[in-house]
Structure formats: structure tokens, C-alpha cells
A and B are shown apart, each in its own frame.
Chain A
């Protein structure tokens, strides 16, 4: 359940932002970017955010999750782009691998590891 610690980190940061104004801003929503290569589950993250903001100044604010696509770079054949996905893995969702789709050797992730607050929406 690392979603809970990430949801708390989001809430802490947003509260800090709101309270940096006098009077504090009313927060309407937060938009976060979560990369495809993280194991952070968007639905669980939203659930945790709603649960921990209940009866706080953030209650009713909406957490939106934007997904960042994974990209890899292969130092063997210089391929740059979407990773190879493992379709036969047990999951319904294809699993991103670090195998180069072009030459089959090891590729390095260059994007998709994000876990970032992008915007905070607030009212005057």
C-alpha cells in the first residue's frame, strides 16, 4: 500500500500550498502524473486520497491521474521509443519490459517513471 504514503505526500504538499496564502486558498483539485513504469495504481491512489482528505480542508477536492507513457533507449542498437510489452504475462494489462523491441538486448528506461504533482486547482 505505498499508494497511501504517496497520497499523504500529495495531500501534505497541497495543504502547504493552500496555507502559504492568507487566508488559505480553497483547493478544488490536484492533477498528478504517474508513469507506466511505476507500480502505482491510479484507482488505489484516488481512493487513498479521498480517504485521507475526508474531514480535512481538502475534503471534496478531486485527484486526477494522468498517465505518462514508458519509453526506452537501447545502448546496443540506439532504438528509442515504446518498450517491448510482455503479452503472455498473466495480467490483462500488458507488462512493460526492458527488452529492446528492436534487437532484444537490454534497454534503459528514459520516461515513464514519473510520480509528480502537475497542477493544483484552487478558487479565490
Chain B
């Protein structure tokens, strides 16, 4: 994967965006010693992802990820990204599900 615009965090959600390389070798061999850990990517489009470096997975799965599609579609719809991350991230505070529900209305 390659960085979008050389890797600056977005002004909107402060996350880095990565995308599949357009012209790419089929694979690259690396030493396993260079693998630092498992990464969590949030799909933005089919070829682009946000790199989650802010929310732990328990919070993400409990609040952001709605398998029925509602809130997750909101995140993906673009204009709601700023609202979503602003709601979840200021100073590490996390809104509860009910608070999110109220704001969505």
C-alpha cells in the first residue's frame, strides 16, 4: 500500500489515508523482524483506507462499527466523517451509543 499525498494526517479527521498502489510488484519479501504489529484500517473506498491510530478496537467495534450498515455508512458518506471523529475523539472522550443516536437525529 502507498500513502495518499505522501502521508500527512487529514485536516478533517487527523488520520493518514493509504491506498493500493497503482503500479505495483506482485509482492515484496521482508524480514519478519521488520513487522511491528497488526494494523487496523477503516475502509473508505474499495482501494483507500484510513489508518486507525486513535480509537482502540473495542471502542471502534462497540460504537463506530454497525454491522447493519447505519452508522458505518455514515462514516463512509464523506461529509459525516468530520462530525463522527469530532464526536468521538476530543481529548480522548468517547460518546456513548445513546449520545450518538441523539445527535444523529
Do A and B interact with each other, yes or no? Answer: no
